[in-house]
A and B are shown apart, each in its own frame.
Chain A
Amino acid sequence: MDKNSPHELWEYVLTQVELSISPANFNTWFRDGSVVKIEDGIVYVGVPSQFFRDWYLRKFNTLLLKIIRSVSYEYRNIEYQIVKDDRRKTKEIRRVSRPTVELPLDDFYINKSDNLNPRYTFESFVIGSFNELAFAAAQAAIHRPGITYNPLFVYGDTGRGKTHLIQAIGNQYKKLYPTRKVFYLTSEKFAVDYSDSLQAGTANRFKDKYRQYDLLIMDDIQFLSKKEKTQEELFHLFNALYDNNKQIIFSSDRAPVAISDIAERLKGRLASGMTIDIGEPDHESRIAIVRKKVAAHGITLSDEVTEYIATAVAGSIRELEGVINSIVCHTQVKGIPPDIAEVRQSLRSFSRPQKTVSVKHVVSKIAEFYGIDEESIYEKTRRREVVRPRQVIMYILREDFSVSYPTIGNKLGGRDHTTVIHSCEKVKREVGSDTELAKEIQDIRTLLV
C-alpha cells in the first residue's frame, strides 16, 4: 500500500473498522468519511459535520489511531476536519430535461466586485522564453502602475495564456494595493453593457462606473471590430483613465495594427504603450507547464510521460490542459498515475480524431508542401530533398494515423518495414531538438486536418 495515498489509507481503515463495529454503526458514521490529506505524520480525516467530528473524537479516535499505526509508525496523530459540501461527492446525478430556462446562477460565482477569477495567479503561471518578456512587462505594470507601460497590450494566439497573465496581474495588483479598484471584463461584455445602458437610458451611470477603476483589464479586444459606438465609448474611457494615470491592460489575438475594422485613433492609442506578443511555448516550457499543472493536482508523472505529453500534444496550452485533466481523472479513478503506454493510448483517442486516410492524399499534400514531385516519393531515390519528406510522411502516417509499419513500407514503393521504423524513430528524435522540423510538421498537420 502506498503510505502517502490518502485514498488507499482510508480504504484500509474502512476494511479494518468494519470488522470491529456493528454494520449500522459503520454505515452511519463511516460512509461519508475520507482521508483528506496526510501531512507531517498527521492524518486529516474529513467528516461531513460537527456531529461526526465529536463522535469520532469520542468513540473512534483510539480505534482509528490503532489502525493507522499498524500501517506505519510515521502517522503520529489524527485530526478531524469538517469538509465543505462541494468536496463531498454527490451520489445523485439527475438531469431532467426541463423546458424551463434556468436562471443564470452559474455565471455569478466569480468575485463580482472585480470579475477576476482567483484561480489565475502568478504562482500557477509558467514562465518560459516565449513569454518572459510579457511577464516582465506585467511585473513592471504592477509595480509602477499607470506610469511605465500604459496601456499594456498583450497579444498572441489562442491558448497561450493571455487571460491567465492579465488576470494574474489583476489578482496581484489587488493583493499589493488593497484599497484600489480593479476590474476585469471582456470587450464583448463591455459592448453588451454599453448597449444595455443605452437602452435603459443610464449611459451616464455607465460612464461613471468604468471611470472609477484604478486598473482596468479588457480581454479579447479584437471583438470590438465593427462596433463603432462601443469603440467610441472605449476611446473616451481610455482617454479619461489615461489622463489620470490609471493603468489599462488589453489583450487580443493579434497586434493592434492587425485588428480589422477598428477606428484609427483607437488603434493608435492601443499601440501607444507597450505592445508585446506571447509566442509559441518551446519544448522546455511545455514540459514545465505539464509539470506545474499536474503538481497542482498533487500528482507526479515520470519524466518519460511528461516528455511524451509535451511533445505529442501539439497546439495550444489549453489542449495540453485538457490532456492533463484526463490524466488527473485517470489517476483519481485508478489511484496511480498512468504509465507511458496508457498515456499514449489515451492521447491517440484524445488529441486528434482518428481518421481513415488515403496514403496517397498524405503523400501528395506533403510533397506539395516541400515542393517536390509526388512520384519521386515512391521511387528508390536517395536524393536529400526527397529523403527528408519521405521520412516525414512515414512519421506522420505512423503517429497521426496509426498506419502499421509494413503497410507504410508497402505503400511507399515497397520498402522494408524496418526502414520505416528507422525513419519514424529518426524524425521523432529530431523533432525534439530541431525546432525548424517541428514547425514544418506542425504546418503539415494543419494542412492535413
Chain B
Amino acid sequence: MIISIDKKELAEAVNSVSRFAERRSTTLPILAGIVIVAGDDGIKLRATNLETGIDRKISGTIKESGVVALPATTFREITASFSGTGTVTLEHGGDTLVISSGTGRSTLKTLSYEDFPILPFPEATTVKFSIQGAQLRNLITTVAACASTSTVRPELASIFFSSEGGTIKAVATDSFRLSEKKLTVSGNTSPFSLLIPAKNILDVVQTLPDEMIEVRSDDHQCAFSCPSMMITTRLVTTSYPDYTQIIPKSFIAEATVLRKDLEASLRRSAVFSDSFQKVRVGFSTGDKKVSISAHNNDVGDSSEALTSAVSGESIELSFNHRYLTAPLSLITTESITLSASGIGRPLVIRGVGDETYLYLVMPMNQ
C-alpha cells in the first residue's frame, strides 16, 4: 500500500478515530489499532473497541491499494507531532509501515489486520431520523454528566434518547439526580426511543461533524452517518424507568436567583462542606432570601444569604454541593429558579424562561 495524505487532515482524522480504539491492553491487540484501508472507495480509517466502531473517509491519493493496521496510540502521537503543511506518504511493506513527510522518515511496526472485527451496522432499521450534529452534541453533552458511572444498572449508565411530537429529548440519571434536555425540531420526526451507553454516545458526539447526521438503528445497534464517516454503537436493551413520574408536579417553595450569585456562593460554601460534601440551602419567605450554609468540624462554617424572589413556605434542605453546581454551567439564562417539593423530595432547577432544560436533584437525609 502506498498513499499520500494531507498532514493536517491525517492528524485530525487519526486523532478522532483513535478515540474508538481500545485503551485497555488486556484484550485482542488489534482492538488497540487503527486499520487503514486504501481501495476503490478511497482511503478509510477504522477502529473499534467492540462497544463502538468508526469508519472514516479521508481524502488523499492512492498509488497502490492495500490494508494495514497500526497501533493507535503510536500512530496518533506521530501524526500529532507533524508540523507545517504539505503531505505525508505512507508506504506499507512486509510488517512495517514507512511514514515519510518532507524531511522526516519513520518506520512503524504494523499489526496483523486479519483479526479486525466487522463493524456491525443496523440490519433491519426500525428507527431512522436526521439531526444536526451540533444539536445532537448539545443535547447529549448537556445531560451526560448525570449518567451513572457504575455498570451495575446498565440503563442508568445510559442516556435515554427519545422523540415524540416534534420534540427530541435526552435524559440521564444516576438515581441521585436527573437531567433532561429538550429540542424542538421542525418537520415530523416519527417517535422513537433509544437507550445508548453514556460513555459510547459521548465519544460519538465528540467525533461527529456539525453537519446533518443520519441516525439509523435496530434493536441492538445504532449507526450515525454522514458523507465523511459512519459511527456505530451498541444499544442497551433493558427498559428505562418512567422518570416523568418522579418530576414533582407541585412545589411548596420557589426561589429565583441570579445564576452567577448562586454559583459564586456555592463555590465559597463548598470549602466548608463536610466529608459528605453537604451544604444546606434554605428558602426563607419572610426576608426573601435564599441562604447557603455549610459546616465542617475541622474547617469551620460559613453562611450566605442571596437576595431573591421567594414564594411558598420556608424550608431548608441539604445537598451534595457538586450536584448543585453541576447544572449551573449548563444553564444559559441569567437567572434560575429553584423549586422545592418538600423535605426528602426532589428539588428542581431550571433557567428562567428556558423550558428546554430541567435538572432534578435529591436532597440528603437531614
A residues in contact (CB < 8 Å) with B: 24-25, 27-29, 48-55, 58, 82, 84-86, 90, 92-94, 98-106, 108-109, 112, 199-200
Bound: A104/B341 CA distance, A: 15
Q: B152, A25: Cβ atoms under 8 Å?
A: no
Q: B28, A108: Cβ atoms under 8 Å?
A: no
The total number of A-B Cβ pairs within 8 Å is 112
B130 at the interface (CB under 8 A from A): no
Q: How far is the CB of A116 from chain B (nearest CB, A)?
A: 14
Bound: A55/B114 CA distance, A: 12
Chain B 114-130 per-residue mask, 1 if CB under 8 angstroms from chain A, else 0: 01011110000000000
Q: A102, B176: Cβ atoms under 8 Å?
A: yes
* Smallest CB-CB A-B distances: 6 pairs: A50-B120, A105-B241, A85-B154, A28-B28, A108-B242, A49-B234
Which of A28, A109, A199 makes the CB contact (< 8 A) with B31? A28
Q: Across the interface, which residues of A come within 8 angstroms of B363, CB to CB?
A: 100-101
The chain A residue with its CB closest to the CB of B249 is A200
Q: How far is the CB of B23 from chain A (nearest CB, A)?
A: 14
Q: A51-B120, A85-B236, A94-B150 are in contact. Are A100 and B364 (CB under 8 A)?
A: yes
Bound: A82/B237 CA distance, A: 10
Q: A52, B28: Cβ atoms under 8 Å?
A: no
B246 at the interface (CB under 8 A from A): yes
Q: A92, B150: Cβ atoms under 8 Å?
A: yes
Q: How far is the CB of A18 from chain B (nearest CB, A)?
A: 15
Q: How far is the CB of B347 from chain A (nearest CB, A)?
A: 11
Bound: A49/B245 CA distance, A: 31
Q: A24-B29, A50-B220, A94-B150 are in contact. Are A102 and B245 (CB under 8 A)?
A: no
Q: A49, B152: Cβ atoms under 8 Å?
A: no
B362 at the interface (CB under 8 A from A): yes
B250 at the interface (CB under 8 A from A): yes
Interface magnitude class on chain B: 35 or more
Q: How far is the CB of B112 from chain A (nearest CB, A)?
A: 11
Which of B152, B178, B276 makes the CB contact (< 8 A) with A94? B152
The chain B residue with its CB closest to the CB of A50 is B120
Q: A85, B118: Cβ atoms under 8 Å?
A: no
Q: How far is the CB of A72 from chain B (nearest CB, A)?
A: 30
Bound: A98/B243 CA distance, A: 21
Bound: A109/B243 CA distance, A: 10
Q: A109, B344: Cβ atoms under 8 Å?
A: no
Q: How far is the CB of B167 from chain A (nearest CB, A)?
A: 20
Interface centre among B219, B242, B344, B346 (most CB of A within 10 A): B242
Q: A100-B363, A101-B344 are in contact. Are A112 and B53 (CB under 8 A)?
A: no
Q: Across the interface, which residues of B come within 8 angstroms of A98, CB to CB?
A: 176, 276
Q: A101-B344, A103-B173, A108-B242 are in contact. Are A55 and B117 (CB under 8 A)?
A: yes
Q: A85-B236, A103-B346 are in contact. Are A51 and B50 (CB under 8 A)?
A: yes
Chain B 211-251 per-residue mask, 1 if CB under 8 angstroms from chain A, else 0: 00000000111000000000000101111011101100110
Q: Across the interface, which residues of A come within 8 angstroms of B156, CB to CB?
A: 105
Q: B236, A103: Cβ atoms under 8 Å?
A: no
The chain B residue with its CB closest to the CB of A32 is B50
CB<8 Å pairs between A and B, sample of 15: A25-B28, A51-B50, A51-B53, A51-B120, A55-B118, A84-B237, A85-B236, A99-B276, A100-B319, A101-B362, A101-B365, A103-B243, A104-B246, A106-B241, A200-B250
Bound: A105/B152 CA distance, A: 14
Q: A105, B243: Cβ atoms under 8 Å?
A: yes
